[in-house]
């Protein structure tokens, strides 16, 4: 897609630091190395976010995650963990609108990275939980 920075990276019109490539995906270093080895995995086909994938593209893309994750694990014997993040839409911190999955290697608690879920256990009643589940479940196609 025109004016998509990741399409340009995939097409090698913009340089990147390659990790892995095949017919369906490209993995390369994030320009902002949150921790050393912070990697992005992208489908070569331009899709904006998770809502744009069909099952074939999802299989081709997400199935590559363990391969890249294991490469990171092998490359860093000191690795203590790995966060895999996929942001969708601006509110959810997406800034590049070509879908991508972050692999963020973790080394110590001092890494400049955090996820905050909050603990809301017990705030929704059983009836509210049932209604919520049903509301979503009836939309699964």
Among 7, 58, 60, 79, interactor with Zn ion by CB under 5 A: 7
CB of 53 to ligand 5GP, least distance (A): 16
Contacts 24+ apart (CB under 8 A), 40-46: 40/6, 40/100, 40/101, 40/102, 40/103, 41/65, 41/68, 41/100, 41/101, 41/103, 42/6, 42/9, 42/10, 42/98, 42/99, 42/100, 42/101, 43/99, 44/10, 46/1, 46/4, 46/6, 46/7, 46/98
- Binds Zn ion by CB under 5 A, chosen from 25, 98, 99, 105: 98
The reply on whether position 49 binds ligand 5GP by CB under 6 A is: no
Which residues ranging from 33 to 72 are in contact with Zn ion (CB under 5 A)? 46
Reply yes or no on whether 46 is catalytic: no
Q: How far is the CB of 2 from ligand 5GP (least distance, A)?
A: 16
């Amino acid at each position: 897609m025109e004016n998509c920075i990741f399409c340009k990276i995939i097409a090698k019109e913009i340089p990147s630091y390659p990790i892995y490539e095949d017919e369906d995906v490209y993995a390369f270093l994030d320009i902002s190395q949150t921790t050393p080895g912070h990697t992005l995995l992208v489908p070569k086909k331009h899709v904006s976010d998770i809502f744009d994938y069909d099952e074939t593209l999802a299989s081709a893309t997400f199935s590559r995650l363990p391969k890249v994750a294991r490469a990171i694990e092998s490359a860093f014997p000191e690795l203590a963990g790995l966060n895999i993040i996929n942001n969708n839409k601006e509110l959810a911190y997406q800034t590049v609108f070509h879908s991508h999955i972050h692999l963020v290697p973790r080394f110590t608690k001092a890494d400049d990275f955090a996820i905050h879920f909050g603990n809301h256990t017990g705030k929704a009643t059983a009836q509210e939980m049932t209604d919520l589940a049903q509301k979503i479940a009836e939309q699964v196609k």
